[in-house]
Amino acid sequence: MREESGKYDGLRRPDDVKTVTVGGLHIGGEHPVSVQSMTNTDTSDIEATLAQIEDLVGAGCELVRLAVPDKEAAEALEKIVSSVEVPLMADIHFNHSLALKAIEAGIDGLRINPGNIGGRDRVREVVRACAESGVPIRIGVNSGSLEEDLAESFAGPTPEALLASAERHIAYLEELDFTDIIVSIKSTDVRDTIRANRLFARKYPYPLHVGITEAGAGSRGEIKSAAGLGAMLAQGLGDTIRVSLTGSPLQEVKTAYHILRSLGLRKKGPEIISCPTCGRTEIDIEAIAAEVGESLEGCQGEFTVAIMGCAVNGPGEASHADVGLAGGRECGLIFREGEVVKRAAEEELISALLQEIKKMECDQL
């Protein structure tokens, strides 16, 4: 199943998209949109990198990318690869010998742009090693590193220029009969990213890794990513996503799941519905929503919780959710699976709500 819920209404049908497998992770075709991130430790610091990979996996990350900028990082890969189960992708620029080392170390995927690794012979060597080891290649076109000749002829990193760059890299691989390819085309401009990915999807069957590059820090970055990814995913563009935020990669994974859950594409983790509060609110909804959200941080269960302020929309939303709260004057009703199970005073509402949530498939409480 491509999606976990909801109707799929995309620009390209899932069966138009090739499935590429990185480690055990299937990307494309009917498979659910997967979540990936990138470590920001020094890859040659094996202990720190393994600790971060473990945290990422704990948050639900399904593919972890590591920067391999030098020999030390490449040498660390063997130990890292053999210590984890999650599929790993090495991110390598310009240096074909690092790519060969990564394949030797047992890496599951390579992010490399074939046009940038020093000529056809070197591309051939890397592609042969990838084909022999079953290692797919992700081509990553980025507005910040567009080839100069394309930037000149298209007058900047336009969507058409980004597509032309992707085409150039794909041609290197297809000429060698290598089609185990994933492509990403990213710009810091949301609309350009969307357009470039639309152009690509009309032309190629390769799965798309989508994201908004260098989206920024905190809520700015999250909102920019949600705007861009939401627009693309709703059109069926995107088989694996990375949210690029300045800061902790763990936040990238959490944000990615929020985006996918909002679109009904993944259900991992509880959905918390809470009302915006208004002049009718007579209990501290903000504090209740914050505490429940915090208690469920990291929970992978699939259920909905509604936290509502009053009798107008409260009972309706609370009874549609798996667990709900409808507030009244300094008190509230607790619902489970559509039925009122308790009436509690305001100071007892949080514990009463958490007690009911505990009865769901919650692995945090």
Q: Please give the residue ranges that form the binding site for ligand SF4 (CB under 6 A).
A: 275-278, 280-281, 308-310, 312-314
Q: Looking at beta carbons only, is 78 or 282 nearer to ligand SF4?
A: 282
With respect to ligand SF4, which residue has the nearer C-beta, 179 or 277? 277
Q: Is-contact 135 107, C-beta < 8 A? A: yes
Question: Toward ligand SF4, which CB reaches closer, 126 or 334?
Answer: 334
The nearest distance, CB 8 to ligand SF4, in angstroms, is 31
CB of 275 to ligand SF4, least distance (A): 3
Nearest to ligand SF4 of 277, 300 (CB atom): 277
Bridge pairing between strands 271-274 and 331-336: unpaired
Q: Are 333 and 342 in contact (CB under 8 A)?
A: yes
Phi-psi region of 355 (alpha: psi -120 to 50; beta: other; left: phi over 0): alpha
| Minimum gap (Å) between residue 274 Cβ and ligand SF4 | 9
Q: Which residue is nearest to ligand SF4, using beta carbons?
A: 309
**Contact indicator for 227, 192 with CB cutoff of 8 Å:** no
Q: What is the rounded CA–CA span in Å between residue 274 and residue 289? A: 7
Q: Which is nearer to ligand SF4, 119 or 279 (CB)?
A: 279
Distance CA 88, CA 108 (A): 5
Nearer to ligand SF4, 157 or 309 (CB): 309
**Alpha-carbon gap, residue 259 to 253, rounded angstroms:** 10
Q: Which helix (H) or strand (E) holds 46?
A: helix 46-58
Minimum distance, C-beta of residue 28 to ligand SF4, in the bound complex (Å): 41
Distance between CA 88 and CA 65 in Å, rounded?
6
Least Cβ distance, residue 147 to ligand SF4 (angstroms):
52
Shortest distance (Å) from residue 350 CB to ligand SF4: 17
User: Where would I find the H helices in 235-312?
Assistant: 249-262, 285-295
Among 163, 134, 135, CA closest to 150: 163
